[in-house]
Structure formats: structure tokens, C-alpha cells
Amino acid sequence: MSFLAVEDLVVRHGLLQAVRGVTFGVERGETLALVGANGAGKTTLLRAIAGAHQPAAGRVLLGDADLTNVPSHKRVGMGIALVPEGRKLFVRMSVEENLLLGRTAGRPGDWSVDKVLEMFPNLKPRRHAKTGHLSGGEQQATAIGRALMSNPDVLLLDEVSLGLSPAIVERVYDALQGLIASGTTIILVEQDLSRALSVSDKVICMLEGRIALAADSKSVSRDDVTKAYFGLHRQKAEPA
């Protein structure tokens, strides 16, 4: 049984079925990349794992625990942290206050404000600045740091490179490489296919709420993923 398992998950936004019976699993320490066109259901899936969306059907399991009906704040305490799309920082609060909020769930672990600032040195001089006044890269670093402060077992990253300059994206991914190397389980939503394939162990390509392709990142060809991305190649969803 996988460390994090998603079984037949269905998530609706009103009448729209955004995720349609998705099943996959992630082992401890693995990095899974979720790719797909806009509206494919990647963000909804990630948010459903984090507890921000209540599924209409299916289950989310972490180890032996069924998280399906567990509210989002309790999932943080159980080891799941989300870096949401658009960062969603508390803009009236400082960098330090945002980071400290990540510790609310009280999970034991090594992450501290100083360790996050060591990981993202560009935040050091901005420690007491309101996050609404930060650059996009600094905001993204704060959002990742805030999630790390909860000492997660599973880190969910939603489009961390969105809206950032290539140099800043490079810096963010350098930091993520450290996390991947440390054995943190990561599910990553990424639009940049090459980058997604290079950092992940497994890749899932979503199309219209379903899994169009689930494969090993190292063995799958970029062409196959591109075909799945545009719906030119469909593969029956299998537990990854």
C-alpha cells in the first residue's frame, strides 16, 4: 500500500466535475509531478488532498489513516502541507509571522524560522517586512517556507514557478532539490514539462479531470507526455 493513496476521487465545483475518479499512489520519499493543460483538474486534485475541497466520492489515505473527511487544518497536523497556487500569503503579516503560522499544527521537526531563512537567504533582510510588499520570488520562498514550518511528510506544491522570472525559478528549484534529496515526499503541479520530468520520480498527466498517462519520469518519453497532454494518447488510469 502506498504512503499516500488517492482512490477513485471525484471532486465537483457545483455542476462541474473537476476530478473524475482519479486513483494513484505515492511512496515515501518519492516526487510525483502532476502535469496537464489548464483546467485539467491538477489544482483541484491537490487541494482535495490538502482538504480544501471535499470530494464527492473516493478516498484520500495517508498510511493507514483515511483523510477523506478530515478538515484541512487537521491534515496539516497529520503531515500534509500545501503551497497553494498564487502563494496565498497573509499580506498584512510579516514574513516571520507567516512562517510562524506554519507551526500552528505543532508537528515536531527540524524546521524553524532560522532554517527557512538559511534555505532562502534573500528573505533574511525581509524578515519583518509585510509579505504584501515582497517580490514574487520572495513571496514564493515565504509560501514554501511556511509549508515547511509544519514539518510535513508530504509537501504539495502548486505551480511554484508561476509568474516568476527564470532566474528566480532556478533558485526556487535549487531549494526544492535539497528537499527532494532530504527524502520529503512531494507532489508537484508544474506547467514546465521538462522541469517536471527532470525533478520527479513519477509523472501523471491529467486531461479533463482524468489521468491520461501515469508513468515513470525517467523512462517515459517527452513525446508520450505531450501526446497525453493534448489528448492524443489515452492510457487507462492505473495505480502509479
Partner 1 sequence: MSNQIIQGILLGGYYALIACGLSFMFSVMRIINLAHGSLAVLAAYALWFLALRLHVSPFVGLLVVLPLMAAIGWALQRFLLERSARGGALLPILTTFGLAIVIDNMLFEQFGANTRSLAPYIGSLSYDSWEWPGSIYVGKLAVIMFATAVVLLGGLQLFLSRTGLGRAIRATSEDPDTSGLVGVDARRANAVAAAIAMVTVGLAGAFLGMRATFDPYAGAPQLLFAFEAAVIGGAGSLWGTLIGGIVLALAQTLGAQVHPQGFLIGGHAVFLIVLFVRLSMAGLSLRSLLKPPSRSAP
Q: Which residues bind partner 1 (CB under 8 A)?
A: 50-52, 71-73, 76-77, 81-82, 84, 88, 90-93, 97, 100-106, 146-147, 150
CB nearer to partner 1: give 105 or 179.
105
Q: CB of 80: closest distance to partner 1 in angstroms?
A: 9
Q: CB of 182: closest distance to partner 1 in angstroms?
A: 21
CB nearer to partner 1: give 52 or 61.
52
Helix 166-181 to helix 136-148 angle (10° resolution) is: 10
CB nearer to partner 1: give 96 or 138.
96
- Can you say whether residue 63 is alpha, beta or left, with left for phi > 0 and alpha for psi between -120 and 50 degrees? left
| 25 Cβ contact list (under 8 Å, min separation 6) | 1, 2, 3, 4, 5, 6, 239, 240
CB nearer to partner 1: give 51 or 58.
51
Q: CB of 90: closest distance to partner 1 in angstroms?
A: 5
Contact 93, 101 (CB under 8 A): yes
CB nearer to partner 1: give 154 or 240.
154
H-assigned helices in 182-229: 193-199, 222-229
The SS3 call for residue 210 is strand
E strand residue ranges, 27-174: 31-36, 57-62, 65-66, 80-83, 154-158
H-assigned helices in 124-200: 136-148, 166-181, 193-199
Q: CB of 188: closest distance to partner 1 in angstroms?
A: 17
Q: CB of 96: closest distance to partner 1 in angstroms?
A: 10
Q: CB of 73: closest distance to partner 1 in angstroms?
A: 5
Q: CB of 149: closest distance to partner 1 in angstroms?
A: 8
What span, in angstroms and rounded, lies between the C-alpha atoms of 66 and 228?
31
Strand-pair category, 4-13 with 57-62: antiparallel
CB nearer to partner 1: give 93 or 129.
93
CB nearer to partner 1: give 142 or 217.
142
